[in-house]
Amino acid sequence: MTTDEARGGVASVAKACRVLRAFSPTVGVLSVRQVSAKAGIPRSTAHELCRTLVAEGMLEGAGGGYQLGPTILELAGQIIERTGLLRAAEGLLDPLVRAPEQEAHLAQLTQGWVAYVGRSSNPCQVPMLNQVGQRAPAHLSGCGKAALSWLPFDEVTAHVERCCADGAVPPPDLAELEAELTRARQDGFVTSRAYQKDRTSVAAPIFDSSGRPIGGVSVAGPSTMFTTAVIASARASVTNAAGLISARLINATPAWAKAALH
């Protein structure tokens, strides 16, 4: 029995999912050899899966390799539209960016990770990993920690365990993480330097109409620019933006759905 079968899944489907996860905003086109290495499957299997995924529109050919196809965009668009997070943040990210090196990020919490769904930056931007479509371990990123801080810690632990198992992420010190999230909840924001070297983010949580944290909004940039005064300014701006986004999400929820939540 394969590992995928032991988990109760269909092995071929699990392998196809690993192929799709091999792609990222920073590595958009992959050869069969690269797909094989990143997905951890034989090259012949990777080749057949890529051909099948092309036929289904999940991948498409690109420069002798493969890239994500239009069906992925259609499916992702449905998820983004369903949550309403990006729509609720309309017009609120750009004002958060107050220096050429800064960026504003909008991220959604999902199964141990955060997926970045919005980004605002100046033309003169510094290299960062928080590109739209990129995912990051929730317990390492500012947006993720802001959201996790409002969950019971047993739920946080489940998120962390899933992320570490899924992405080969080293497990954190849970006691330290719990202490950090407790402070973040008390403060209403979090300052994080764990996701990318020499980068700092100041983030606040976003809540849905049920009061559950669904993601976060952050201001990020080189750590050297985040003085005490800059952190204080960023805190005020991101908590205000997070509050407005949360309010928009609540107001956008149909009355019948709100009633079902209570």
79 vs 42, more confident: 42
pLDDT at 250: 87
Can you give the residue ranges of every domain in the chain?
A: 3-73, 84-256
- pLDDT of 259 strictly over 70: no
- pLDDT of 144 strictly over 60: yes
- pLDDT of 82 strictly over 90: no
pLDDT at 96: 94
Q: Which residues contact 66 (CB under 8 A, 6 or more apart)?
A: 29, 30, 31, 32, 35, 50, 53, 54, 59, 60
- Return d(Cα 42, Cα 35) in angstroms, integer: 9
Instruction: Please tell me the pTM assigned to this model.
Output: 0.74
Residue 220 DSSP SS3:
strand
**Alpha carbon distances (Å) from 55 to 70, 205, 228, 238, 247:** 11, 40, 54, 43, 42
- Return d(Cα 238, Cα 172) in angstroms, integer: 26
Could you give the percent of the chain with pLDDT greater than 90?
A: 54
Tokens of 145: 């920690």
Q: Which fold has domain 3-73?
A: Arc Repressor Mutant, subunit A (1.10.10)
- How many Å separate Cα 241 from the centre of its chain? 18
The whole-number average pLDDT for the span 94-111 is 90
The whole-number average pLDDT for the span 10-39 is 85
Q: Which fold has domain 84-256?
A: Beta-Lactamase (3.30.450)
